Structure 1
Amino acid sequence: MLSTLIEGLPSEIAELLNTAVILGCGHGWGTEKVREVLGIRAWGVDVSAQDVETAVRVRGSTCGDVVLDLPFANDAFDVGLSADVFEHIAPEDVPRLVSELTRTVKYVATLRIAVFPMFVDWGEQLGVGNLHLTVENSSWCSKHFCAAG
């Protein structure tokens, strides 16, 4: 996803992209690939403490377990990436996550947000039911990004 983003940008802008934050780093594989393949310093965050523990154990310090209060300075990253994460955040927490993302990312954020319910057996076994807590259209999402600047 990041390589496609960079390839589509004018070279003078692409050269500015040296740091990335990955929201929803899981086991850290994607964060590691951004570092290795693109040569970009990347850090990941995830809400799953178990995934972060695995990422740190297997890949080193690629991930942290804070998403709603990112422990980074303003404009700390040139680019932010998130794939299939926002829909797992409760609707009331989305503005906070958007605010943190826009605060810490200087140039561009690329997001893929599912806008449909997700029912799977293991989610129901956990008593969760729909694993996508926020199922809203792009206008709803855009409203929160516009409000955050």
Structure 2
Amino acid sequence: MNGLSPPDPSIDSLQTIFDYALLKIFEQGAVTPPNATAACSYRSGELRCTIGIFLKNYNPSYEQYVVDELIEQGIFGKISDDMNALLCDLQFVHDSIAMQHNGINLSPDEFRKEFLQAMLIIGIRHRLRTYQIEELQERIT
């Protein structure tokens, strides 16, 4: 990915979570299809949502839970309140892009533009480094 590569998806710092989600979902260029409880599934075929990329031991039963419930169940291990807030914000971004377009598929570049705009806001909100966003924006045709 032009010198950018996602870090290991372990949930060990806010910056690691943000960077991994940013690069992985940008590379994917699409949202996952809806499930019964949210605007998108955690996993669908090769596609992952911003939470699905962190589910190392994915179980299809997770689809019945919103991210807050997965966190409460300890699926991600013991995480801080700040990490909890970031994971919820990341999922909201992914879901909101899906809901905003009523399930109509965006082109990969249309999705990427919206995703990067939302990720910039989240990065600033959580006081994270966002320099990679500008570099990724330059790659969109």
* TM-score where L is the length of structure 1: 0.27
The structure that is strand-richer by fraction is 1
Decide which structure has the larger Cα Rg and report it: 1
Higher relative contact order (CA 8 A, sep 6+): 2
* TM-score where L is the length of structure 2: 0.28
